[in-house]
Structure 1
Amino acid sequence: MLITMFIALYSTRLVLNALGAADYGIFTLVSGVIVMLSFLNVAMTISTQRYLSYYIGVGDEGKLRQVFNSSVLLHTMMGLALVVIFEGGGLYFFERVLNIPPDRLGTARIIFHFTVISTFFTIISVPYDATLNARENMFLIAGIGIWEGVAKLGVAIYLQYTGYDKLIVYGALIAAITVISLIIKRTFCSIKYKESKVQVRKYFNKDMLKEMFSYAGWNMFGAGSVVARNQGLAMILNVFFGTVINAAYGIANQVNAQLTYFSVTMLQSLNPQIIKSEGSGDRPRMLKLAMIASKFSFFLLSFFSIPVIIEMPVILKFWLKNVPDHTIIFCRLIIVVSLVNQLTVGLQVAIQSVGRIKVYQMVVSALLMLNLPVSYFLLKAGLAPHAVLVSAVIIEALTCSYRVLAAHRLTGLSIPEYLRKGVLTSVFPVALAFSVALLPQLVMPAGFVRLLFTGCVSTAAVCLCVRFLGLSAYEQEKLAGIIMKLLSKLPIRFSVAKAN
């Protein structure tokens, strides 16, 4: 994971230097939906994974094959539908909405077509992503992540030397990486897992398809609102400030994506257990695991985020050299949005496992989409660009509050217990660790040495505060189990000698 993060961050630096702020802003604006599709992909993967995990627990291979092949058919239809929507509606945005320099408008359209290709192949890879997650194959998931990171680094290096239009080359090669990743996943799953062979006609089940379509449809609706919010904010910023501000926004999303990658990967090891617990009728264990998932995700993101937030100016200067205006404040605020979200991320899985998600998704989507009109009126009133992200933090807090209420209604979650054991014991130790990590700012000048010192102080503070103030004995035991499980997926096994 660390390898992937550093490769991705260095690749962004090379791409920004090769394209320049304006062209990088165009790519972020037009194809930023690819970055945001991670939300959509995760949501759709959870939909399929819910059914796969359940029938893996039951041991019904026939149902497993029906679920997988229904998922293949379902996501192929969804992918084609999005292609039609994107290609049909894209022209309107290019002509009437987006603020793109006229001499780069043709190039932007080409990039958009590559984006549509990437979108389609990302969506039809969902059944294979769900299979790998349900089977808890963290080694292959990490391996594909590393391959994609190395491939994107190769693209970034190639951009430094190509004589062709760098923006078009970048869009084409990123789309190619998406296609190759799908081929790798499909080949491995088809060989390793019997249920992953595509035989749609043989295992077609109308009732199963209908049930999965309803469930996945509402999940996609909810995830689509996240994509619409994030990409909508990019468009609003573009209308008011042009493509250069999109470069800052795109970099901030890159930083956030790399930091949240760790918590997302950790959550993948808990998701199947949460879903299987609900499927077996063990609601108390399901809720306990959901609370643990929220806490662990929040702590893990805080571990990496605290030194980054504090030393953001130094990190960006060292990483990018030429830092676009507003990038520092954008990065900090987007990370805060993610931290707030992590406080209830386990409850999202708990609600998904119950299955009654229609009203929940409608309310959450409405709250998330509230960002767009609020942001428009804030900028129309003359406020600074970062005002849109300040409002995003507030709206995210409101969304999380509703999520707790929804979990109480759907699963019987005790709200006082969750606030006490889930939220308070998460926020207090992290706030204390953050305060301690600020101390080097008071006694040392800005620079690389202070960055290293802040990282060391922050690491020690987070570990100690979380260990003694944030985790119960059961949670410490569960965390150790997750770490050992992840290590067991590595190709190199470590044997532990036991005393006779």
Structure 2
Amino acid sequence: MSGNRTIAKNTIYLYCRMLLTMGIALYTSRAVLQTLGVRDFGVYNLVGGVVVLFSFLNNAMSSSTQRFLNIGIASKDSKRVGQIFSMSLNIHFLIAITILVLSEIVGLWLLNHQLNIPKERLLAANLVFQFSIATTFVGVLKVPYDAIILARERMSFYAVVGIIQAVARLAIVMSISMSITQDRLIVYAFLMMILDVFSSIAFFVYCKLNFGYQVHYRFEKSKELFRSLISFSSWSLLGQVSVVGSSQGMGMILNVFAGVVVNAALGIAGQVSGAVYNFISSAQMAFNPQIVQTYAENKHERHVKLVLQASRFSFFLFAILCIPVLLGTDYILTLWLGANYPQYSVGFTRLIILTSVLTSLAGPLWMSAYAVGNIKRYQFCVAAVNLAVLPIAYLVMLYKRDPFLVMGAKLLLDMLLLIFRVYYFKSRLLIKNSVLMLYVRRILPLFVMVFALAPLSEFISINGLGDLLIYSLCCEAVVCGYVFFWGLRRSEVANILTLVKSKIFGLT
């Protein structure tokens, strides 16, 4: 019971963070565009993207570090946790140096000789590039501190820092727009670097004050631990590369056959879907530490229950959040971007949201795979399915030239990937068919309903906010009723009602 309450409390913290930061971020993105202008805004994103190209290994190491720290915490061995932390800090320092060298050699060559940047903005672009490198260097070193905060389930601090960062970003943009008349791009990039450095310092200080010995750096020489971290991360890296390669490669193929309008539509669809999915990732973040720790403690029944519960909860929340977007995609995009948004945006947004529905179900399953370890076969299969979209996209565009068919193929591949993840989860943990079938029965009707809503929304006319509210409320009532009376267990409903009474009405 205490574990469920911890998860619920952490979910509340993370949702509060997401609600505030998403609202601020949506307004900030418009303000940045207006302050910098289209050209400088493009330069800022392009230059930052060059540094991101060299960050694959860091992304893989981040999930690996948190996994090993969770296992160390589950063993209740503070010395072991300290060893894992120190070794991960050693590895992240090497990663930071590697990114620095690659950025200063390959990155500068790309920036000055390959990318299409106006000559009069080349000096500003180089300064922004250096600020981005510094930000990335500090961010890589912050990963082990970030990981131990999440592993220790200190979500309140994580949420507070995120909100402060969002408010500070907005303050920076507003102050530049009102007072700076010189090169706003350079000033903006410099102040954003300073903000990220100070937020990283806050993480360092918090960990020192709260975790003491466990984050006290010692030069760790264990070859066995080093090999374990690197081996696990190398297979995580394969998964990271396949995800990025499939999305970026698909975008390039669509660009070759259909032009930049398709890429603009993909970008808009990704922002809308990402804004909704961030709520779900927050819920899963609250579950993840206990998913890993219960497996490490050999509490397999509790582990299976947590994974399936997190998957169901994530899917139910996403279904509730995405229904207004699926119904009123055209109206929402017009309200946000104006009437002249790129072609394909509405269809792409709906298809990417359906893809995110599958991701909401799959997230806890791949976290379980990470907890179990020995992910070689798992990551190989995931990478193969992810990268299969590239030849399919090429053939579809070559013979049909229909971008929607490509996105539909991507959706089918993600559905295949979800089926594989369920099978892998069942086979590795020897789950009974009855347990799995109960999970499927609780989600399947709503799953079909959400997928049917996307084509049906083409026949629904949304002419204003009133129409959107009426249609959304009707659908939400059906969905919430389904979740309450069928999707959730009676014990889960009781726990939720108790939590609402205690947190909102002050009742025990």
TM class by smaller structure:
0.7 to 0.9
CA distance 1:37–1:233, shift in 2 (3 Å): farther
Alignment check: 8 A CA contact 2:100 2:137 kept? yes
AA of the residue aligned to 2:365: L
AA of the residue aligned to 2:159: A
Cα distance in 2 for residues equivalent to 1:233 and 1:90: 23
CA distance 1:19–1:245, shift in 2 (3 Å): farther
Tell whether 2:414 aligns with 1:396. yes
1:276 to 283, 293, 296: 293
Alignment check: 8 A CA contact 2:327 2:453 kept? no
1:266 to 263, 280, 283: 283
Matches within 5 A, 1:167-246: 169-201=187-219, 203-237=220-254, 245-246=262-263
Counterpart in 2 of 1:303? 320
Counterpart in 2 of 1:61? 78
AA of the residue aligned to 2:336: W
Tell whether 2:137 aligns with 1:135. no
Alignment check: 8 A CA contact 2:54 2:102 kept? no
Structure 1 unaligned residues grouped into runs of 5+: none
Task: State the shift of 1:398 in Å.
Answer: 2.1
Counterpart in 2 of 1:352? 370
Task: State the shift of 1:364 in Å.
Answer: 1.0
Counterpart in 1 of 2:304? 287
TM-score by length of 1: 0.83
Q: Deviations over 1:461-494 (max 9, x none)?
A: 321111123222344456668x67xx99xxxx77
Matches within 5 A, 1:43-192: 44-86=61-103, 88-90=105-107, 100=116, 106=122, 114-158=131-175, 160-161=177-178, 162-164=180-182, 169-192=187-210
Matches within 5 A, 1:305-324: 305-321=322-338, 323-324=340-341
Which shifted more, 262-271 or 177-186?
177-186
Task: State the shift of 1:57 in Å.
Answer: 3.0
Structure 2 unaligned residues grouped into runs of 5+: 1-17
Counterpart in 1 of 2:30? 13
CA distance 1:373–1:178, shift in 2 (3 Å): farther
| Count of residues in correspondence between the two structures | 488
Matches within 5 A, 1:357-396: 357-381=375-399, 383-396=401-414
CA distance 1:439–1:465, shift in 2 (3 Å): farther
Counterpart in 2 of 1:3? 20
CA distance 1:442–1:370, shift in 2 (3 Å): closer
| SS of aligned partner of 1:199 | coil
Alignment check: 8 A CA contact 1:404 1:415 kept? no
Cα distance in 2 for residues equivalent to 1:171 and 1:373: 38
Task: State the shift of 1:97 in Å.
Answer: 7.9
Alignment check: 8 A CA contact 2:67 2:292 kept? yes
% identical aligned pairs: 33
CA distance 1:333–1:14, shift in 2 (3 Å): farther
Alignment check: 8 A CA contact 2:73 2:293 kept? no
Task: State the shift of 1:38 in Å.
Answer: 11
Cα distance in 2 for residues equivalent to 1:497 and 1:445: 41
Which shifted more, 369-378 or 69-78?
369-378
